[in-house]
A and B are shown apart, each in its own frame.
Chain A
């Protein structure tokens, strides 16, 4: 079945790197995503990675995918207080009509 797991909380100091982890069960997924949700707002797509890639970098964000271990991570370099939010990983499949399966979300708290 489809299941996506994340740890619920992460706390870091401003300027440090944050690493948010995610594990998933269905290795046939096509894309894996990271979404960000700030208080009182909807989800915002941060980045995504195609399942045949190992790594994707986009400015302060680095996504690592270990397909063998079904493990996805999001590294935020030089974390700022504005990065405090809930981060969701999600997976999708080519043949399942836009269906996204989300993890529970990791609440990132950045302390000054």
Chain B
């Protein structure tokens, strides 16, 4: 595998379900990100991890819970979501979060539908 991979690619869940999104980067990067992409809206940064520590939590509701067990893996745990949480969730990585933090490599995303 190369680059940034995300699983699953598609997910349909009910409001009472608990599910997790997985992201893995094979680039040797130290920073990882979760973004939410909704139709007709700019990408919204959700979380930033640098060297496995969360450095940014962009006012995201607690029903989204990130986990970064090591610098190659990032999870987004979902529980009691709302229909308005339906979106494309994108994971990205970068070498670091400093000067070149904007040079991010994105995965293909998980298309989430909440019923």
Contact = CB atoms under 8 A, between A and B. Distances in A.
Contact of A98 (B43, B50, B107): B50
Interface residues of A, number: 26
Contacts of A40: 108
A97 interface: yes
A102 B43 contact: yes
The contact size tier of chain B is 20 to 34
A97 B104 contact: no
Label chain A's interface by main secondary structure: strand
A30 B55 CA distance: 19
Contacts of A99: 45, 48, 56, 101
Interface string A96-107: 011111111100
B102 A31 contact: yes
Nearest to B43: A102
Interface in A47-101: 48, 88, 90-92, 94, 97-101
Nearest to A41: B108
B103 A45 contact: yes
B72 interface: no
Interface of A: 4, 30-31, 33, 35, 40-45, 48, 88, 90-92, 94, 97-105
Interface of B: 4, 6, 31, 33, 40-43, 45, 48, 50, 55-56, 90, 92, 94, 96-99, 101-109
Given A98-B56, A98-B98, A102-B43, 20 more contacts: A31-B102, A42-B92, A42-B106, A42-B107, A42-B109, A43-B90, A43-B106, A48-B102, A88-B43, A97-B50, A97-B97, A97-B98, A98-B33, A98-B48, A98-B94, A98-B102, A100-B43, A100-B45, A100-B102, A101-B42
